[in-house]
A and B are shown apart, each in its own frame.
Chain A
Amino acid sequence: AQSVAQPEDQVNVAEGNPLTVKCTYSVSGNPYLFWYVQYPNRGLQFLLKYITGDNLVKGSYGFEAEFNKSQTSFHLKKPSALVSDSALYFCAVRDWEGSQGNLIFGKGTKLSVKP
């Protein structure tokens, strides 16, 4: 089955600094990759996706992600972090093998941005 891994449980960044939240994937064929964010007591909100085309994908709230096929990665980035970016971030991939296209999520990375 296809999967994603988020190697960091938590990322700490100072406000104004760049941030990176890491994601690696394991798929056969072309991956359909997504990033979602979850604020406390809220549902998941879509940030961005990579399906095909340009490896640098821009999304909501100033976030972007870079698809790297050789490293099987899809890291989430932002040039300048805000305190309000503090939340849980989930990477996800479409599982075309085992589950007919269901979205499979990583375990999440908690981003903490300090003033």
Chain B
Amino acid sequence: EAGVVQSPRYKIIEKKQPVAFWCNPISGHNTLYWYRQNLGQGPELLIRYENEEAVDDSQLPKDRFSAERLKGVDSTLKIQPAELGDSAVYLCASSLGSFRGRTSGANVLTFGAGSRLTVL
């Protein structure tokens, strides 16, 4: 079974340029997450989708970040324009279930390898 696939693995851009990251979750996983991991830190959630609905985007900097999950499968995370502070690893993860009723709280997240962004 293929895992969570992310691309590109590495991206170097100059500040003010746009960048996009793509994620293909595990087949059948209806919940998809985008996390940002700064150097020496743990992952921090940016946005969570259940199917095609963004159920938690409270930590997404909406002035420059956007995300979409058309048809409830693949997802794209975009930054426009990028700033120096956006340099980080962007992790995509997926899992089964919905967490609104706590019934899927035990479900495990499966992570992709990440997309490392360097903004110069």
Segment with Cβ contacts to A, from B11-19, B69-77, B107-115? B107-115
User: What residues of chain A lie closer than 8 Å to B113, measured between beta carbons?
Assistant: 41-43
| B55 on interface, CB distance cutoff 8 Å | yes
Taking a contact as CB atoms under 8 Å apart, the answer to whether A94 and B105 are in contact is yes
Near A by CB (< 8 A), chain B positions 47-68 give 48, 55-56, 58
How many pairs, one residue from A and one from B, have CB atoms within 8 Å of each other in the complex?
65
In the bound complex, how far is the Cα of B110 from the Cα of A45, in angstroms? Answer: 7
Contact of B44 among A34, A51, A105 (CB under 8 A): A105
With A100-B56, A105-B44 given, is the CB distance from A43 to B112 under 8 Å? yes
For residue B96, CB closer than 8 A to chain A, the reply is: no
Q: How many residues of A are counted as interface, with CB atoms below 8 angstroms from the partner's CB atoms?
A: 25
> Which of A36, A49, A100, A106 has the largest count of B CB atoms less than 10 A from its CB?
A100
Tell me whether B106 and A49 are in contact (CB under 8 A). yes
B-side interface residues, number (CB < 8 Å): 27
Q: Which residues of A contact B100 (CB under 8 A)?
A: 100-101
Give B103's nearest chain A residue, CB to CB.
Answer: A101
Given the known A-B contacts A42-B113, A43-B4, A107-B40, are A34 and B105 also in contact in the complex, defined by CB atoms under 8 Å?
Answer: no
Of residues 16 to 71 in A, which have CB atoms within 8 Å of B's CB atoms?
32, 34, 36, 41-46, 49, 51
| Distance, CA A30 to CA B110, complexed state (A) | 23
Which residues of B lie under 8 Å from residue A36 when comparing CB positions?
111
Contact assessment for B41 and A103 in the assembled complex, using a CB-CB cutoff below 8 Å: no
A28 → chain B closest CB, angstroms? 13
- B43 at interface (Cβ–Cβ under 8 A)? yes
Q: Are B45 and A43 in touch, CB under 8 angstroms?
A: no
8 contacting pairs across A/B (C-beta < 8 A): A32-B106, A36-B111, A43-B93, A51-B106, A90-B42, A94-B99, A102-B99, A105-B42
